[in-house]
Amino acid sequence: LINNITSKILFRKIQCCIISGEYFLGTKIHQYVPVRMSKSNPMNGEARPCRTCTDFQSWTKKMGTPFTKAQADTQEHKNECPLDKNELGRSTWGFLHTMAAYYPESPNQEQVTDMKNFFKHLSKFYPCEYCAKDMRDEIKVDPPQAKSQEELSQWLCRLHNKVNVKLGKKEFDCTKVTQRWRDGWLDGSCD
């Protein structure tokens, strides 16, 4: 069972990286190392390091002690359960910030319109009803800014900070969104 779970996770990570444009060198799976590429944008079909993927070496280091069968069964069961409000929020913010981080530097008019519509529709269909209403209210006051990657990332950070304040959480330093959601921290802790 452990080998089966490990194989599935490894396959999904490699598949993610291949689909997103991260290339690997090496002949054996444990030797695969991601190739660092220029700071272009994969959303436009250009190569860029995949920060949303984890190379196999890093993943195995993070794995630490192997799971017992009981732990693996519990984890697999937990992964098959519906998200609670906090898990949904954390996952959604992670997705939104990552999407904004990889948004084109100079989007065309269609991309700008699509991004604004995306947030409009998200605020209608988000599965937490009061969260969705709050987002609709915020968007009326401060509509999505999507003329560039930087503008969208900053707008989203401000929106997220408004939610953090309402929840009594610490605000995030919006000058660090690119490090947090795209390039990784300057201290190399994400490498």
- Indicate whether 89 belongs to any domain: yes
Residue pLDDT, tens place only, 111-159:
999 999 999 999 999 999 999 999 999 999 999 999 999 999 999 999 9
Residue pLDDT, tens place only, 171-188:
999 999 999 999 999 999
Residue pLDDT, tens place only, 15-45:
444 433 433 333 333 333 333 333 444 444 5
Are residue 45 and residue 104 in the same domain, yes or no? Answer: no
Are residue 66 and residue 99 in the same domain, yes or no? Answer: no
Q: If you ran DSSP here, which 8-state letter would residue 190 be given?
A: T
Residue showing tokens 């409000």: 85
- Indicate whether 49 belongs to any domain: yes
Are residue 179 and residue 106 in the same domain, yes or no? Answer: yes
Are residue 63 and residue 145 in the same domain, yes or no? Answer: no
What pTM value is reported for the model?
A: 0.64
CA atoms of 173 and 71, how far apart (whole Å):
37
CATH number of the domain within which 166 lies: 1.20.120.310
Number of domain units in the chain: 2
Which structural domain, as residue segments, surrounds residue 109? 85-183
